[in-house]
Amino acid sequence: MAQQVILNIYDLSPANEFIQPFGLGVYHTGVVIGGKEFTYAGGAGIFDHSPQQPGEQAKFRESVVVGSFDGNATALNDALHSLSKQFGPSGYNIMTQNCNHFSDALCRRLLQLSIPGYINRLANLGGCFTSCLPESLLAGAPSGSGEGGSGGSSGYQVIGGGARQVANSQPTSVFSGSGMALGGPSTMPSSSGASGSENLQDRRERTRQARLARLGAS
């Protein structure tokens, strides 16, 4: 029997109210199938929880029916296990591998359909500038807190291990050199300024003397 695959969308920032009309936003998502909501977080990997109960930081916005899954529980578990090799506990990256990337990958695996493009548009745009961002931001991620697991369990049900480790690269320094702070003291040599001032005074004095000479001649 086919089961609906539902995408639950949550706001992670009040700014969404202002930027959502422009097709942008900071969102969390989870995929609901068979009465469980599956999602992804740093430190936990893929896990499930009760639908629409992701935690206090995420405010529910809406549910979107993505499609119908004709497979059984074994097919679903196979899909989750396969994705766990990519979406492991230490593989989270806020720009390139976040919860929305997982939701999209799961929907593609089960239905050959993708999630709405606006959900991860901000991260995709930011991914173009990852070399300019600090590593602490790129590696930052929500983590499983061990609360609110599904099926009456006391913690999240982690589906996979075997994570793909994110490369530990150093952030790229875009600008280098000592520079000069705006509004700060000038680092230009003072001698050139003094020389310019003296030359100006000399010219003014010569002009004054020339005028006096013309007046005396008349």
Active-site residues, by number, are: 28, 99
Residue 43's Cβ-count burial label (10 Å; 0-12, 13-18, 19+) is middle
What are 160's two structure tokens? 């996979």
8 Å CB contact between 88 and 45? yes
Calpha distance 184→190 (Å, rounded): 15
Calpha distance 78→82 (Å, rounded): 6
Residue 156's Cβ-count burial label (10 Å; 0-12, 13-18, 19+) is buried
58 secondary structure, DSSP code: -
8 Å CB contact between 105 and 117? no
How big is the chain, counted in residues?
218
Under 8 Å CB-to-CB from 166, ≥6 apart: which residues? 90, 91, 92, 93, 97, 139
